[in-house]
Amino acid sequence: MEGMADGLAAANSFLTLKGQQPLFCRQRGSTTQEDVDILAAYVRKYPNQATTPTVIALTYAMVERFPCN
């Protein structure tokens, strides 16, 4: 989980450096447990996502939880 969250943070940094909108806008870093909790809540809300690759479901969960306004 930690590696996936780090990868998403790196993707956000890359997009920002390119002048593009990041995937999601989290104001601070996170713990692995927080990321697990966010993903678990997302899959409970959208049970059909339980078979989606974890990194994709985590991306969707972060986008929903931390939208860029």
DSSP-based helix, strand, coil % in the chain, nearest 5:
70, 0, 30
pLDDT at residue 29 greater than cutoff 80: no
Residue 68: the pLDDT is 92
Residue 41: the pLDDT is 97
Percentage of residues in the chain with pLDDT exceeding 70?
A: 100
- When pLDDT is averaged across residues 23-48 and rounded to a whole number, the result is 92
pLDDT band of 2, cuts 50, 70, 90: confident
Per-domain residue ranges for the chain? 2-65
Report which of 63, 61, 54, 58 is spatially closest to residue 24, judged by C-alpha positions. Answer: 63
pTM assigned to the model: 0.87
